[in-house]
Amino acid sequence: MKTESKHPGELLRELISNDNCLPTPGVFSPLVAMMAEKKGFKCLYFSGASFSAMKGIPDIGIFTFQELFDSVMEITKMSNLPLIVDVDTGFGEAINVVRTAKDLEKIGVAAIQIEDQIFPKRCGHLEGKELISASDFAKKIYAAKSSTNNLQIIARTDAKAVEGIDSAIERAKLYIDAGADIIFPEALETKEEFQKFAHSVDSELLANMTEFGKTPYFKANEFAELGYKIIIYPVSSLRIAMNAVNDLFDMIINNGTQIDAVENMFTRKELYKLIDYDQYVKLDESLGGDQLIDYKGVKDE
């Protein structure tokens, strides 16, 4: 359950100000966010790729800001952890980015991640990406930073795959000058590239440890040694969940029963504990439950 505290953007700043790295799982629902918090993660990530997939559409930026806003708010209401939100290209030009940033900050988002692709965008690990000019993207970063107070701005550059590592580095430097708090170089392919980027860019850094992409499978401590503080696993939880659902549905179709899968299921007791079912029961009882109570002389019938 959500508790009052300082703004999540401040919490994220404090977390990345030390020398520890932050393994940051992708969460696609309040329940998954609550599970991540229970397991001890310190930061969460709301992936545009996962959100698109949950809606049954490709990750090319075609969901609306309102759709994203509503889903993000459901998570920030239920989790105390700083949440990084992938806003793709920002839902428009610099003036649109102002609204995107301000509205998300108001509902407790710790950071937004915005990328320098043209719209419609492409998944960062696919071919065919195109970039907007570095100066136009810098305007978006400035718009987001100058219109908010505690929101952290993560600038993702897709330049390595399009223009090369040197261009990605130069763009990153411009984005820092424009106000970016954290830099996210997407789709780097070797340890040497990650190392070169970190040595060349004076900023807190984020690395994307996605599956089936261009980046090798490095461990969190390896990224930390290379200079990266935040390590995101954007679609991992969705992929593992969908694989389990796929197997379950095959079992029911083929065998007419789910019984062989029961031992691998989250139990009713485990689910109720995670959502703190007892707290709601106690609250209901404290309010009189379904008993008839006298409230200002009027009885409920």
Q: Which of 194, 213, 234 is the last residue of a domain?
A: 234
Residues 131 and 279 in one domain: no
Three-state secondary structure string covering 226-282: HCCCEEEECCHHHHHHHHHHHHHHHHHHHHCCCHHHHHHCCCHHHHHHHCCHHHHHH
Collapse the DSSP code of 170 into the 3-class scheme (helix H, G, I; strand E, B; otherwise coil) and give the result. helix
At residue 123, does pLDDT exceed 90? no
Residue 299 resides in a domain: no
Residues 46 and 109 in one domain: yes
Residue 300 resides in a domain: no
Q: Which of 234, 254, 274 is the last residue of a domain?
A: 234
Residues 142 and 272 in one domain: no
**Number of domains the chain is built from:** 2
pLDDT digits (tens, 9 = 90+) for 236-278: 999 999 999 999 999 999 999 999 999 999 999 999 999 999 9
Residue 3 resides in a domain: no
pLDDT digits (tens, 9 = 90+) for 160-217: 999 999 999 999 999 999 999 999 999 999 999 999 999 999 999 999 999 999 999 9
Instruction: Average the pLDDT over 59-80 and give the result.
Output: 95
- Which pLDDT score is estimated for 19? 67
Map tokens 């397991």 to a residue. Answer: 39
Residues 130 and 206 in one domain: yes
Structural domain for 256, as ranges: 242-289
Q: Is the dihedral of CA 147, 117, 165, 127 positive or negative?
A: positive
Q: pTM for the full model?
A: 0.92
Instruction: Average the pLDDT over 72-90 and give the result.
Output: 96
Residue 193 resides in a domain: yes
Residue 272 resides in a domain: yes
Residues 75 and 119 in one domain: yes
Contacts of 254 (CB under 8 A, 6+ apart): none
Residues 180 and 271 in one domain: no
List the CATH number of the domain containing 157.
3.20.20.60
Residues 88 and 180 in one domain: yes
At residue 298, does pLDDT exceed 60? no
Residues 203 and 249 in one domain: no
